[in-house]
């Protein structure tokens, strides 16, 4: 239940401990009932109530943050003014003495990245917040008036497997695939060096929750060594080939005719990806996975398809063998581990798209959701990561860097962190350069 003993206090009484209550529920804005009750009732009558509410246009937003809305020109700019009532001003939080120290922020909207980059180079804006694409980097690096920041995103781009049915209901095959993935190639060639390797579902930049001791596959090995190791994993599990990908002498050749341990030929399967015009990185990863698997004689086919249709096929209907998808903005709290892999979320349009079912994982995941002690919960989250990376229902591929650019000599106080410099910490610490 919820009680409001006075105008400035809200009390929550929970039925049971809930670890994400502080990071989720208490960071959800409290809104005025009179402004929202009619909108909520109207939304309930629509086909997608939540989507309807999220698409509500707020003309006069209320703010308890460091800035409040002063002016909004749709499609042109937003002008935020310093909030004289901000609760954090003058307080030290997370070791930072908070402002804000600037009078306001203008968010200017551009139709294209080219136009925004040109404005930055001319000096008519101070910061390019949206991620700078690698194609602009050489030009910006050569500009003495511009400073570039690279930070790891809180994201996950991965290959998912349908573990409900062959061929990927066998964890040995999934581990062999993990062995074939060349993370160095992905970062250097596909991301052009602007990204981080991922060895777990939790990004390494999320330092408290990331487990450094998860099982890792073929780190640092070259292509032939990866093929030999993957071949050994599958041969030990009972797989056979008409033409072995590794000869008795150790020479690597093109394998062919792989058969399951029961002697059945492995049928061709499809790796679904978004199209290149939607996300060239994921599309290219699908193509490379196809090539790497075929070297081992595994009959994979990469198939780009429209993003909406891909989600329907994977999440709603579970009609797939493998796919490449991603989450561009994971929460800092890793409760998504529980949502992605707990067995009760294996349902049409549920979050457990792979169909992973492990009673041991379920037990630890449920315990993590009830554990309020942060250090004890960390140990549970780390154990969950170890289990997932041992069973590999999802195979992390990469985490792209977020690249942001600012004008030099105008402001100080840019705070680098997971997710970039465009955070509340920056806007509470930003000061005009003297």
Q: Are residues 147 and 260 in the same domain?
A: no
Strand partners, 243: 256
Q: Are residues 342 and 197 in the same domain?
A: yes
Written as six digits, the tokens of 381 are 């989250």
Q: Are residues 162 and 198 in the same domain?
A: yes
Placement of tokens 């052009």 in the chain: 192
Contact 396, 161 (CB under 8 A): no
Q: Are residues 122 and 161 in the same domain?
A: no
> Digits of tens for pLDDT over the chain (434 positions)?
999 999 888 999 999 889 988 887 887 878 888 889 999 999 999 988 988 998 988 877 888 899 999 999 989 999 999 999 999 999 999 899 999 999 999 999 999 999 999 999 999 999 999 789 988 999 999 999 999 999 999 999 999 999 999 999 999 999 999 999 999 999 999 999 999 999 999 999 999 999 999 999 999 999 999 999 999 999 999 999 999 999 999 999 999 999 999 999 999 999 999 999 999 999 999 999 999 999 999 999 999 999 999 999 999 999 999 999 999 999 999 999 999 999 999 999 999 999 999 999 999 999 999 999 999 999 999 999 999 999 999 999 999 999 999 999 999 999 999 999 999 999 999 999 98
Q: Strand pairing of 96-97 and 300-304?
A: unpaired
| SS3 labels along 276-291 | CCCCHHHHHHHHHHHH
Q: Report the half-sphere exposure of 31 (CA within 13 A, side-chain side).
A: 13
Q: Strand pairing of 77-82 and 269-273?
A: unpaired
Q: Are residues 228 and 375 in the same domain?
A: yes
Contact 416, 151 (CB under 8 A): yes
Q: How many domains does the chain have?
A: 2
Provide the CATH number for the domain around residue 276: 3.10.105.10
Provide the CATH number for the domain around residue 54: 3.40.190.10
Instruction: Spell out the residues 6+ positions from residue 158 whose beta carbon is closer than 8 angstroms to its own.
Output: 198, 201, 324, 325, 326, 394, 395, 396, 397
Q: Are residues 395 and 413 in the same domain?
A: no
Q: Are residues 273 and 359 in the same domain?
A: yes
Q: Are residues 255 and 350 in the same domain?
A: yes
Instruction: Quick: pLDDT tens for 354-385.
Output: 999 999 999 999 999 999 999 999 999 999 99
Is the previous residue joined to 100 through a cis bond, with omega within 30 degrees of 0? yes
pLDDT score of 33? 86
Q: Are residues 137 and 252 in the same domain?
A: no
Task: Supply the range of the domain harboring residue 13.
Answer: 2-151+402-432
Q: Are residues 353 and 376 in the same domain?
A: yes
- Give the C-alpha separation, 312 to 326, whole Å: 15
Q: Are residues 200 and 346 in the same domain?
A: yes
Q: Are residues 413 and 388 in the same domain?
A: no
pLDDT score of 31? 82
Q: Strand pairing of 92-93 and 9-12?
A: unpaired
């Amino acid at each position: 239940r919820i009680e409001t003993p006075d105008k400035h206090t809200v009390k929550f009484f929970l039925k049971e401990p809930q670890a994400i209550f502080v990071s989720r529920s208490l960071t959800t804005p409290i809104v005025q009932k009179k402004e929202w009750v009619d909108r909520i009732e109207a939304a309930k009558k629509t086909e997608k109530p939540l989507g309807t509410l999220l698409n509500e246009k707020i003309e006069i937003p209320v703010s308890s943050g460091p800035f409040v809305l002063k002016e909004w020109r749709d499609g042109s700019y937003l002008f935020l003014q310093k909030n004289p009532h901000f609760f954090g001003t003058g307080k030290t939080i997370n070791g930072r003495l908070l402002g804000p120290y600037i009078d306001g922020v203008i968010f200017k909207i551009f139709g294209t990245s080219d136009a925004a980059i040109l404005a930055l180079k001319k000096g008519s804006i101070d910061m390019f917040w949206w991620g700078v694409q690698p194609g602009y980097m050489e030009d910006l690096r050569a500009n003495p008036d511009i400073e570039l920041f690279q930070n790891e995103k809180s994201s996950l781009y991965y290959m998912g497997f349908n573990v409900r049915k062959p061929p990927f209901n066998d964890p040995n095959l999934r581990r062999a695939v993990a062995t074939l993935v060349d993370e160095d190639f992905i970062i250097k060639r596909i991301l052009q060096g602007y990204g981080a390797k991922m060895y777990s579902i939790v990004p390494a930049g999320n330092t408290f929750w990331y487990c450094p001791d998860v099982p890792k596959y073929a780190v640092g090995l070259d292509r032939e060594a990866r093929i030999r190791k993957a071949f050994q994993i599958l041969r030990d599990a009972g797989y056979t080939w008409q033409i072995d990908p590794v000869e008795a002498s150790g020479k690597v050749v093109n394998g062919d005719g792989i058969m399951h341990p029961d002697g059945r030929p492995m049928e061709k399967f499809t790796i679904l990806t978004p199209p290149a015009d939607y996300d060239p990185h994921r599309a290219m990863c699908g193509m490379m996975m196809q090539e790497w698997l075929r070297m081992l004689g595994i009959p994979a086919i990469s198939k780009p398809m429209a993003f909406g249709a891909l989600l329907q096929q994977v999440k709603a209907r579970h009609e797939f063998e493998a796919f490449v998808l991603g989450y561009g903005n994971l929460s800092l709290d890793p409760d998504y581990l529980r949502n992605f892999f707990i067995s009760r979320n294996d349902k049409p349009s549920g979050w457990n798209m792979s169909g992973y079912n492990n009673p041991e994982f379920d037990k630890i995941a449920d315990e993590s959701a009830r554990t309020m002690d942060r250090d004890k919960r960390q140990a549970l989250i780390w154990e969950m990561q170890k289990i997932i990376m041992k069973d590999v229902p999802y195979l992390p591929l990469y985490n792209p860097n977020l690249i942001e650019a600012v004008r030099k000599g105008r402001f100080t106080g840019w705070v680098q962190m997971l997710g970039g410099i465009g955070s509340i910490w920056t806007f509470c610490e930003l000061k005009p350069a003297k």
